[in-house]
Each structure stands twice: as structure tokens, then as C-alpha cells.
Chains A and B, each alone.
Chain A
């Protein structure tokens, strides 16, 4: 019973969502009950997300609180996490001033001048990591790696004015590499992904694959 009901629910809802994809859901010409139920299901996802978000935040806070209580290494960072999380909640709930809901200037300030720069800092690190990864990837250790090095060098040169200055046909060669062999490889991967995704969805809907729901494939 522990797995039968979830498997049956996944089967019925999966079958409905599959059917709904092929049924016209237009407000004027479509089938009304299919559209209504389809939209209802999609909105229920948001309701579930709200409850699990509460669960998620609680596990985060309790985990870090326990780390501080047990005086474990890195407890200072745990303190920063708790104070930051609760601080943002406090600003959002209690420091609203005269502003209405959604117009909290202090909360927006904290978001714009703390959260956004911190995210931007992490993102900008990518430039350095791309350089170090590219250095490793472009070492000509094998014929395949050499081929990739040559292709990458051609494409990079083709994208800058220097490439056209070296040889006028270089931009065209770069485009050819991107549009023919590169695109063929990308499409092959995309088709494989589509098939794998469909196969996984079918296995889940028909209850062949149940590992994700903790039934160990029984």
C-alpha cells in the first residue's frame, strides 16, 4: 500500500498530462474540463512548493543552529547564515515603514546592494575558471585533443577582426565548423536527450522505475 497509491497517482496524473498535451485547451474552442484540471494541477505545484520551502528553510536553520550549539568547526559561518536569513525576514516583515506590501525600500536595498553583488561576484569568477579549464582542455595530448585545439583556435580567430585580417576566408571556416560538424553533434545529443527523457517519463508513469519515490525498484 505504501507504494501502490503513489504509483497509481503517478500513473493517473501522468496519463492525464500526456492526454492533455494532445487535447485543445483553448478557452473558446477547447475542452473546458481538461483545461481547468490542467491549470489546477500546475497551480497545485506552487502550493506544494510553499510547504516544502518552509521545510527546507527549517532544515537549513536547524542544521546551522546545531552546528553552533555543538561548537563545530565553521560555526562562525553558520552564525552568518542564520543572521542573514533572519535579518532579511525581519526587514521584509517589520521594517516596512509606511510603504505597502511589495514596496519595502529597505528590503529592496538589501536585495540590490547585498544579494545582487554577491551573486555577481560568484558569476564573475566564471571568467577565471573558464581560463583554467580551457588551458587544461586545449592541451594537445592526443589526436582528438589536437583536433579540438585546432577547431577551437579557428573558431575563436574567426570571431574577431584579427581572423579576417589573417585570411579573408577564416570567418567562413569558423561558421562552417559551428554550423556543420558542431551542430550535427549537438543535434545528436539533443535527440538522445529527448529519447532518454521520454523513456524515463514512460517508466515513471507506468511504475517501472520507482527508485525516486524510495521504493528501490520493487
Chain B
């Protein structure tokens, strides 16, 4: 007799258990640090020279009477690096608004342009200078990678901004933009999580936010304890990862495949 079998959908993909546990742990760590911050705990955050220079760079542009160019990368709003860049844009725009300088924000993605418009409006409002905002300076150029690069390089050469921010996801155009900025003598603060593009920014820019510093920038500039607490949670997870790497390497060298079995 054939036994009756009932098919049921599989809810959980067992091979993703490690990622599931890690994401839960990270979420708990962030909320733990957030609770500590709300109770008044003070967190030490190391200085990031590129972010400490933001105020000075904006001040320099104001003194010279020149514009500030902010390039939010070439990726879409679905990319976390772009969202991190928009967070930085919000903080930078507040400072620019308080100095009443000109901020030029060219876009490759129309969705990012629309989101950035709201970010800018709010930043200028927060700074108490909504009338200074020129929405025309937040504009879409083209979705073509090198068409966008040519247009931004043209803006750099014609407008000669004193300060250039290159924050977000960049591809082959990273050096084209950074070298043009370097050629006109602008202070350049770059930041990307694209490992391949980092050497180009380091070679051509004054300051470069490397990888995770891009994500930490928004919290760092805001000085908001709630946002800074997430950096501490990241440090905790980093410590756990470091421990697991050391233990895993030790076990591996001793011939045990325990770690590979768990995460493999």
C-alpha cells in the first residue's frame, strides 16, 4: 500500500541559518547599544579625518565664494551605499545652508534625485534657511555612465567648485571625476564601498572614507547618540567575527572542520 504523502512548502532555507542567526544577533546588538545610549552612556568614536575636514572644506568654499559639488554616486536608491550617501548629503547640506553657500548635486538616477530633493529641503529647513535652497541645483543628467561623467567633469571645469564630495557607489568613472577635481585644486572628500575604486580615490582625493566609514559618516556627522550607538554594535559584531576567525583558523590548522561544518 502506498503511504499518503502531503506536500508542504518549505518555509526556511536551512543553508541560510548562519546568516539568519548573525542578522538577529546584529539587530539585538544595535538595540542593546541604542538602549544604553538612551540611558546616557557615552561612546568613544575614533576620529575620522575625512569627516573632521567637512566643516573646514565647506568654510573654505564659502570664503572663496565658490560652489560645493556633491556627487551621490552612480548607483540606484536600492543600493545601501546610495542611502548612506544621502544621509551624508543631509548633514553636509545643513552646514552648507548655514553658510549660505551654493550646493550643486548632479544625479545619474532620477529616483535618487527625487529622494535627494526631499533630503535637501529638510536640511535647509533644519538649518533655518529654506529660502537659500535652489532646487535647480539638484538635477538629473543622464543614466549613461560616461555621459554623466562628461557632464560632471564639465561642471567641475566651468564652475570650479572649491569643495567636491564624491560619496557613494562609483565604477570606472571614479578616477575621471577625482582627477578632474584634483586638476582644478578643489578639496576633495571621497567615500565608497567599492574596494576596486578605493585606490583611485586615495591617489586623487585629499580625504577618502574607506568602506565602512562611508556608512558611519552620517552618524558621525550628526553626533546623535542613537545613531552613534550602531557603530558600537558594529564593533561588537566585528569583535565576535574576529574571535571566530581566530578560533576557526586554530581549529582548521588542528585538523578540525567544525567551523566549516557550521558555516560551509
Contacts and interface: CB of A to CB of B under 8 A. Distances in A.
Interface of A: 18, 21-24, 29-32, 45, 48-49, 52-57, 59-60, 63, 66, 73-74, 77, 115, 118-120, 122-123, 125-126, 129-130, 132-134, 136-137, 186, 189-193, 195-204, 206, 208-209, 211-217
A115 B141 CA distance: 15
Count chain B CB atoms within 10 A of each CB in A22, A186, A199, A214 and give the residue with the most. A199
Q: Which 5 A-B pairs have the closest CB atoms?
A: A56-B110, A196-B215, A56-B140, A214-B118, A192-B212
22 contacts: A22-B12, A23-B12, A52-B110, A52-B111, A55-B140, A56-B107, A59-B140, A129-B175, A133-B203, A137-B202, A137-B203, A189-B210, A195-B234, A196-B193, A196-B212, A196-B216, A199-B233, A200-B215, A208-B230, A209-B219, A211-B119, A216-B123
Interface string B21-58: 00100110010001000000000000000000000000
Contacts of B12: 22-24
Contact of A60 (B20, B139, B173, B238): B139
B150 A212 contact: no
A24 B30 contact: no
A213 B123 CA distance: 11
Contacts of A197: 80-81, 193, 215
A48 B147 CA distance: 23
Nearest to B201: A133
Contacts of B175: 126, 129-130, 133
B interface, size bucket: 35 or more
B176 A129 contact: yes
Given A59-B139, A195-B212, A24 B11 contact: yes
Interface string B139-168: 111111111011000100010000000000
Contacts, number: 203
A214 B121 CA distance: 7
B76 to A, nearest CB: 8
Contacts of B90: 211-212, 214, 216
Interface of B: 9-13, 16, 19-20, 23, 26-27, 30, 34, 78, 80-81, 83-84, 86-87, 90-91, 107, 110-111, 113-115, 118-123, 125-126, 136, 139-147, 149-150, 154, 158, 172-173, 175-176, 178-179, 182, 193, 195, 198-200, 202-204, 210-216, 218-219, 222, 224, 226-227, 230-231, 233-234, 237-238, 241
Given A126-B172, A196-B84, A200-B80, A212 B115 contact: yes
Nearest to A197: B80
Q: Is the interface of B mostly helix, strand, loop or mixed?
A: helix
Given A203-B30, A209-B87, A217-B222, A52 B113 contact: yes
A55 B114 CA distance: 8
Nearest to A61: B140
B140 A202 contact: no
Contact of B193 (A21, A193, A214): A193
Contacts of B179: 129, 132-133
Nearest to B217: A196
A30 B12 CA distance: 9
A49 B141 CA distance: 15
B200 to A, nearest CB: 7
A56 B113 contact: yes
